[in-house]
Structure 1
Amino acid sequence: MTTGEVQALLDGREEALADLRDDMTANFARGPGAILLRGLDPAVLGEACFASVLARIGGWLGTPAIQSPQGERVARVERRADDRTARGTFSNAELRPHTDLHDILALGCFRPAASGGESVLVSARDLHRAIGHDDPSLPADLVKPYAWGGNPALRSADRPRPCLPILFPPDAAHGPQVAYNGYFLRRGADQADGIFARFDAIAQRLADKTLFRLMPGDMLFWHNWSWLHGRMPFADRDDRPRLLFRLWIRSVIAPRADPALVELGQRMDEDHRITSQWEKHGHE
């Protein structure tokens, strides 16, 4: 970002940010669907302002979704050893390549880890090509529908979870896309672990070639269905732990290979809402 764009963001002068907004919208509507913004200084902004700027930019692309039963739309991604619901959010463990459940994702790096914590983006286009080359029989299994399970730490409505292919081949409206989260798929699909393991192996091989490190102030946005993401394990300094801020964004800008993909995000939102109500009223 230019110095003028950074200052306009801090001043709230939206009219001065039209070119940046147009560039981001075009990137997701017609481009690769991933963009890295640099130019902000989190040490000057402080945590609250940095998170607010991330949310404001995310709002250009869609509507930030809630990320917890507490209703937060900008989540802190940091190690919390005592959290039982977080899975990767509050862990320092490796996160293997996966997609989440909303259309566009964003991470803003306030403070990197002392060591490790490199990020991963694997394009669905590269993945599609590698699977066909490395394991030619696998695509036939990946275009079959598989059920997605839920997070057992969250309450949920008593209705079936969506069934979706993992791999969506390209067509005239979109490039290759992917919907893959080993945690939720292994909770929903029976007798498919061998297929998931084969997919994992190819995705991880590509991931090992795409490691990069988010620096303080970096804001990364990407189309969830066009890129797998992940991270390497990390170690913190006691006085300066790793801290990222995250958005999940519902968006109609970036194309979806299947309209049913929207249901994954809707079910996560619903689970957070039901859990919030249960925690508030469950013991009354």
Structure 2
Amino acid sequence: MNSTDPFSGVRHQVDAELALALAHSTERDQHASWYREFGSTLEEYTRQHLDSRPGFFVLAGLDHLTEEQARGFTVAVSRLTGDLLPQDGHGALLRDVRDRGVKLGEGATGRYSDSRQGGSLHTDAAHRPGRLPDVFALFCHRQARSGGALVTVHVSDLLELLADHPEELAALRLPVHFDTRDDAPGFPLTVRRPVLEFSGGRERVYYLRDYIEIGHGHPGIPPLSKDQIKALDLLDELLDRRDLQTHARLAPGEMIFIDNRSIVHGRTPFEDDGPAGGGRLLLRTWIGLPQQQPAGTAR
């Protein structure tokens, strides 16, 4: 995507009164016509923008929402899109993406979303056991003073280039161990899955190189093979190619939905002025899309 504004054509304005209604919506509102109609609109955006290129869309015009209202809106709209999935061992459905003064992989639980680092392009939840999000959403409530632009690469572009490297492509389809970034008692240290997988009639990608390397550093976990390291190095080279990347900076009051099945993403490093203004704050949800029933299945 070569547009100077990658969100052009996929940015959709939300009526201010509708946004407030969604921010304060209750279970009773799920039966209201306006609520169902917006759900149908989101289904159309998903079909139009996520199930094909570019793999993301943006809701805009939400900068009038307070932080509390933004939280309510983010949860309500995510629920209209699909099933909200927990983001940690405590079942949190909404996570603050902010600088918590740690680095990626630091300590037992240091996450990308807790740092101000850039690079390390990845998919969300590749390290989590169980059902993985098909989509994730980010509501930008406060943006950083500088940096923090979203970086995306589409899996179809990667596969087109990997076709010329069949050995590396085959290695990327072998399972690897992702560190789960969770030290809760009884929680597994790693989860096994491939980087690339043909699943549900489409190619799906799971990736965060740092978590793979940490996972394979645990006692009892075999080290990555030379072929796997070569394949991961090639994938990182492709992800670092500027001609394959889309860069865009969310503005306060914009909410992006990203296809976690086909988009590898990251950000540029960011800087903030300090705690006085609260610092960069994005609100994140993980969403499982409704499962399509096979033809002839009883409803």
Shorter chain as denominator, the TM-score bin is 0.7 to 0.9
The 1:165/1:69 distance shift into structure 2, 3 A limit, reads closer
Where in structure 2 are the equivalents of 1:1-284 lying within 5 Å?
1-3=13-15, 5-10=18-23, 12=25, 14-28=32-46, 31-32=51-52, 33-41=55-63, 44-81=64-101, 85-101=109-125, 102-103=132-133, 104-133=135-164, 135-151=165-181, 153-157=183-187, 161-169=190-198, 174-186=201-213, 187-188=215-216, 190-191=224-225, 192-205=228-241, 209-238=245-274, 239-240=276-277, 241-253=279-291
Specify the SS of the correspondent of 2:70. Answer: helix
Aligned to 2:9: none
Q: Which stretch shows the higher mean deviation, 147-156 or 112-121?
A: 147-156
Specify the SS of the correspondent of 1:97. Answer: strand
Distance 2:175 2:101 in 1: 35
**AA matched with 1:35:** F
The runs of 5 or more residues in structure 1 that have no matched partner are 256-284
The 1:178/1:22 distance shift into structure 2, 3 A limit, reads same
**AA matched with 1:39:** G
The 1:11/1:243 distance shift into structure 2, 3 A limit, reads closer
Distance 1:11 1:93 in 2: 34
The 1:72/1:46 distance shift into structure 2, 3 A limit, reads same
Please state how far the C-alpha of 1:237 moved relative to its aligned partner.
1.4
The 1:108/1:247 distance shift into structure 2, 3 A limit, reads same
Q: Work out the percentage of aligned pairs sharing the same amino acid.
A: 25
The 1:92/1:205 distance shift into structure 2, 3 A limit, reads same
**AA matched with 1:165:** P
Specify the SS of the correspondent of 2:246. Answer: coil
RMSD: 2.9
Q: Are the equivalent residues in 2 in contact too, given 1:75–1:246 (CA < 8 A)?
A: yes
Q: TM-score, normalised by structure 2?
A: 0.72
Distance 1:156 1:178 in 2: 27
Distance 1:169 1:157 in 2: 28
The runs of 5 or more residues in structure 2 that have no matched partner are 1-12, 126-131, 217-222, 294-299
Using CA pairs below 8 Å that are at least 6 residues apart, which structure has the higher relative contact order? 1
Please state how far the C-alpha of 1:204 moved relative to its aligned partner.
2.0
**Corresponding residue pairs, total:** 249
Please state how far the C-alpha of 1:177 moved relative to its aligned partner.
1.9
Specify the SS of the correspondent of 1:89. Answer: helix
| Higher strand content, 1 or 2 | 2
The 1:207/1:70 distance shift into structure 2, 3 A limit, reads farther
Q: Deviations over 1:28-80 (max 9, x none)?
A: 45733522111111xx3211110110011111122323334554321111111
Q: Deviations over 1:138-168 (max 9, x none)?
A: 212222222333226444446x954332223
Distance 1:254 1:221 in 2: 20
Q: TM-score, normalised by structure 1?
A: 0.76
Distance 2:290 2:240 in 1: 29
Distance 2:46 2:185 in 1: 33
| Higher helix content, 1 or 2 | 1
Please state how far the C-alpha of 1:208 moved relative to its aligned partner.
6.4
Aligned to 1:264: none
The 1:29/1:119 distance shift into structure 2, 3 A limit, reads same
Distance 2:262 2:22 in 1: 28
